[in-house]
Amino acid sequence: MKPDFDKLIADYAGSKTVLIADVDCTAEGKDLCETHGVEGFPTIKWGDPSALEDFEGGRDYEAMAEFAKENLKPMCSPSNIDLCDADKKKQIADLQALSSDALDAQIAEKEQLQKDAEETFTKEVEALQARYEELSKEKEAAQKAVKDSGLALMKAVKGAKDAKDEL
């Protein structure tokens, strides 16, 4: 992935509106990575520097280049208000009118909703995995019971009978 990412960095090296960069999270960039929730490597983040999002796309050059072309451009935000439609401008104004504590509370609430969704997903996947394992054991037991009930012997008798009938 690193050569493809380096190629993408080179593609945007002269851009005045897009920054693609890598950060060494084990050295000088450690604090930056902690601030933005980087827990594993490699991690790709994108978006507004004050609200970076996880990149979920492909890790080859073509996939990253297509994503960059479609998504890495100035977007509606408090620092680019002129790119916002009327609804987004109102939403930004309403949020800007909140106190820092009220905004922190709303952010915490939304982050908790995301965390809850992830926990629900994880629990349900674990339940599905347990059910899958249970069904696999049931299937194996049922197939063994059929085999043990004489299926192989029936097939052998059938084969011998068919061979005799052909003569």
- The answer on pLDDT for 18 being more than 90 is no
| Cα(63)–Cα(54) distance, integer angstroms | 15
What confidence tier does 26 reach under pLDDT thresholds 50, 70, 90?
Answer: confident
Name residues whose C-beta falls within 8 Å of residue 52's C-beta, 6 or more positions apart in sequence: 36, 45, 46
Q: Which of 57, 64, 71 is nearest to 18 (CA)?
A: 71
> What's the whole-number mean pLDDT along residues 19-27?
87
* The predicted structure's pLDDT at residue 158: 92
Q: Which amino acid is at 87?
A: D
* Between 42 and 123, the higher pLDDT residue: 123
State the sign of the Cα–Cα–Cα–Cα dihedral 35, 38, 42, 45: negative
pTM of the model: 0.57
* Fold category of 1-74 in CATH: Glutaredoxin (3.40.30)
* The predicted structure's pLDDT at residue 91: 96
- The answer on pLDDT for 98 being more than 80 is yes
What confidence tier does 104 reach under pLDDT thresholds 50, 70, 90?
Answer: very high
Instruction: Tell me if 4 sits within 8 A of 61, measured CB to CB.
Output: yes
Question: Domain map of the chain by residue range?
Answer: 1-74
Q: Which of 102, 81, 82, 83 is nearest to 92 (CA)?
A: 81
